[in-house]
Amino acid sequence: MWDLCTNALDTAKLRGAAYGDVRVMHLRQRDLTTKNGQVGTLSQSESIGLGIRVLANGAWGFASTDRLTREGVAACASQAVSIAKHRPSQNAAKS
């Protein structure tokens, strides 16, 4: 996972981000229902993904993915930078 996060930050920097951070989310959920003391349903789920936040041209961009491959993470980082570059910067809004 460390390599994927590093790849995401490297991609964001190459695309023009001045700052970037990556957050990994790994969620596990278990649900149990009972009725009259009997088990009704029992389910379990698990999901993992990452989010990339960047600062480019004075604006923030964010993207997330569950495609945990080098290509998927690089595409996510590129999308975050593209979003930031297509938003008006905070400094421009004050002018």
pLDDT tens figures, 8-52 = 999 999 999 999 999 999 999 999 999 888 888 999 999 999 999
Q: What is the pTM of this model?
A: 0.77
Q: Are 43 and 27 in contact (CB under 8 A)?
A: no
- Torsion sign (Cα): 67, 71, 77, 82: negative
Three-class secondary structure of residue 36 per DSSP: coil
Q: Are 80 and 8 in contact (CB under 8 A)?
A: no
Tell me what pLDDT residue 35 has.
Answer: 87
Tell me what pLDDT residue 76 has.
Answer: 97
Query: Which residues are paired to 64 by β-bridges?
Result: 51
User: Has residue 92 got a pLDDT over 90?
Assistant: no
Which of 35-39, 59-63, 72-76, 80-84 is predicted least confidently?
Answer: 35-39
Taking Cα atoms as reference points, which of 20, 26, 27 lies closest to residue 63?
20
